[in-house]
A and B are shown apart, each in its own frame.
Chain A
Amino acid sequence: MGFRQRHSIPDLGVGVGFRVPHYPHVLTEHPPMDWFEVISENFMVRGGMPLSNLEKLRAHYRVIPHGVSLSIGGPAPLDLSYLKRLKALVDRIDPPWFSDHLCWSGAAGVHLHDLLPMPFTREAIDHVAARIRQTQDILERPFIVENVSSYLTFTSSTMPEWEFVSEIAEKADCGVLLDCNNIYVSSRNHDFEANAYIDAVDADRVVQMHLAGHTDKGAYLLDTHSDHVNDATWDLYRRALRRVGPTSVLIEWDDDIPSWDVLAAEAQRARTIRSEIFGGAPSRTSTVAEPSSVAV
C-alpha cells in the first residue's frame, strides 16, 4: 500500500498561506478558500493574539502547519524542546500531515534562519532519513519534506536532487511537499531540466504542492514569494498534477503581499488548471474522506 493510501491523505484542494495583511478580512469575512497553511513557528508561542487568531481561523477552515526551523538536515542533534512545542501545536491543529523543508538551518549553536541546501550524498541521505524517522515517531503523524530553492551546488554532491529527495523519502518513509517554484528556481540556477525532476519524483509520496513567485537577480533566481507564479512554474504544476493526480496545492506569497483578491485569483487559477486536467474532480480518490471543516 502506498504512502498516501496508508495515511488516508486527503486532497484539500487549493489553499493559500495565512498572512498578517489578510487577517482582518479572513477572520471576519471568511472568504471562500479550500484551506490555509500557517507557518508553525509563528504559532509556537505561549499565548496572546497569534493563538487567538489561529483558533478563529480553525473555526472556519482546514489548517496545515508548515515549519521553517526544524533543521532536519542540521549537524546538531534534533532540538527536542522545539519538537515538543511543535507537537503541542500540531496536536492542537490536528492536521492530516505537517511539513518542513529538506534543509539545514544552523550549526554550532547558532540558528541561521535560512533554508540551507544539503549536499546530495549518501552520508546526507542516511543522516536526514534517520532524523525524519525520529521526528515522525515523536509527532506521531505523517511528515512531509519540501524541496528547497538553492543558489549553490556542492562539490561533494554525487547525484541529482530528485534522486536525493526520492531516496530520503523512501528511506525515511515520509511524504514529499513538491514545490514547483523551487524546482524551477533551482533548475535555472543549476542548469538542469525541471521536467526531469517532476518525472522522477515518487508520485505516491507527493502529499502537497507549493506554487509561488520568485525574483530574477540577473545571475540567479531568488525564491522570494513576492510575485505571481510564472508561466514556466504553472507548466510544471500541470505536469506534476498529471503525474501525481489531484493533490492539495498552496499558493505562497510572503513578500510584497497583494490584496486578498489578487491572492484569491491566483488560487483560482490553480483550481482552474486542476479542473482542466481532472474535469472538475474535487478529490484524489473515493477512499479518502473529504475534509471535515472546509471554508463556508
Chain B
Amino acid sequence: MPPLDALQSSFAASIRRSVAVADQPGGPTLAGDIAAGNARLSPTAQLEVYREQFWLRHVGALEEDFVTLVHLLGHDRFHALAERYLEAHPPTAFSLRDLGADMGSFVASHPDYSGDPLLVDCARLEWAFVEAFDAADAPPLDAAALTSIPEDAWSGARLTLHPSVQRVALAHPTHDYRAAVRAGSDPPRPDAVPTHVVVYRGPETLQYIDIEPLAFELLDHLARGETLGDACEAVAVGEGLEAELEEKVGGWFQFWAAYGWISAITT
C-alpha cells in the first residue's frame, strides 16, 4: 500500500479533474488501488462520488458569488467558465469565501470572455461586494475631527479609508444591472458608459453609489496613502481641473465622512 500522504495526493489529484474518473488516463486503475468498491458501486464509481461533489460544491459557490455572470452567460456557459477558472485557480484557502478572488482578472484575460467588457465589469463588481461584506471593522471618524483640522494642515493630511470601501471603475453602469438581476429581473444589457462605483458597508447592509470620476480618482490617490496636496496635484495638474477640484473637494470630504468611508485623518 502507498503511504498515507501518497494515497491522499493521488485521491485529491483525481477528484480535482473535470473529467470523470472513468475517463481519466489510469483513472480506473488508480480507483482500484484506492477503493474496494461494493456490490452497488465499483471502485471507480466510489471515487467518482467525491469528484462530482468537488465540482458541484465549487461551481455552486461561484454561482452564488457571481450571479450576474450566470445571468449573462446562462448556466452551461457559466459552468464552463467556472471549470476553466478552477483549473487555472484551484482553491487554496480554507474558506469558500475566497474562491472567486481571481475571477475579475481571469475573465479580463481569457480570450473567450475578455471581448465582452460587461462580463469583466460584473466579475469585478461582484467580487467588490464579497470583499466589503466581511472586511475588518474600524471605528467611524469623529465628526469633530474634520472641523478641527487647521486650514493650512489640509494639504498634508492623509486619509485612512474604512476597510470595507471598495472602489471599482467600470465600463457600464453595472451596479444598476447587478441590482436588477439580483432582484430577479431580466434587464437589458446596459450601454457602455464609464462608471465609478464605491461599494461599502452601511450600518446593516452593503451599500453602493456611483460617484463622479474626479472624486473617484482623488479617492484612489488618497487610498494609496498620498497626502491631500499630492493627490489633488496628481488628479488636476495638466487637466485644467484645479478650480473644479478646489470647489468640490470640501463637499466630497463631508460626504465621504458622513457615509463612513473615512476612518481616520492624520495631519
Contacts and interface: CB of A to CB of B under 8 A. Distances in A.
Contacts of B11: 107, 116
Interface in A99-146: 104, 106-114, 116, 119, 121, 123-124, 127
A103 B227 CA distance: 51
Interface string B109-139: 0000000000000000000000011111110
A6 interface: no
Given A49-B134, A79-B94, A111-B91, A104 B8 contact: yes
Nearest to A70: B94
Interface stretch (A10-18, A152-160, A166-174, A198-206): A152-160
B258 interface: no
A220 interface: yes
User: For this complex, into which size category does the number of interface residues on chain A fall?
Assistant: 35 or more
A197 to B, nearest CB: 17
A82 interface: yes
A74 interface: yes
A288 interface: no
A47 interface: yes
Interface stretch (A38-46, A58-66, A239-247): A38-46
A114 B4 contact: no
B134 A112 contact: no
B41 A48 contact: no
A69 interface: yes
B34 A50 contact: no
A112 B38 contact: no
B50 interface: yes
A107 B4 contact: no
Nearest to A41: B95
B34 A107 contact: no
A219 B133 CA distance: 41
A102 B245 CA distance: 60
Interface in B45-95: 45-47, 49-50, 53-54, 57-58, 90-95
B96 interface: yes
A51 interface: yes
A193 to B, nearest CB: 15
A155 B33 contact: yes
Interface stretch (B12-20, B186-194, B234-242): B12-20
Max count, chain A CB within 10 A of own CB: residue among B37, B95, B136: B95
A277 B32 CA distance: 45
A80 to B, nearest CB: 12
A152 B134 contact: no
Q: Which of B12, B35, B53, B94 is packed against the most chain A CB atoms within 10 Å? A: B94
B47 A152 contact: yes
Contacts of B211: none
Interface of B: 1, 3-5, 7-9, 11-13, 15-16, 32-38, 40-41, 43, 45-47, 49-50, 53-54, 57-58, 90-97, 132-138, 163-164, 201, 204
Please give me the 7 A-B residue pairs with the lowest Cβ-Cβ distance, nearest first.
Answer: A47-B137, A75-B5, A107-B12, A45-B134, A46-B136, A152-B46, A69-B94
Given A107-B12, A113-B96, A116-B50, 12 more contacts: A48-B133, A48-B164, A49-B201, A111-B93, A113-B57, A114-B54, A124-B4, A151-B41, A152-B46, A153-B37, A154-B7, A154-B35
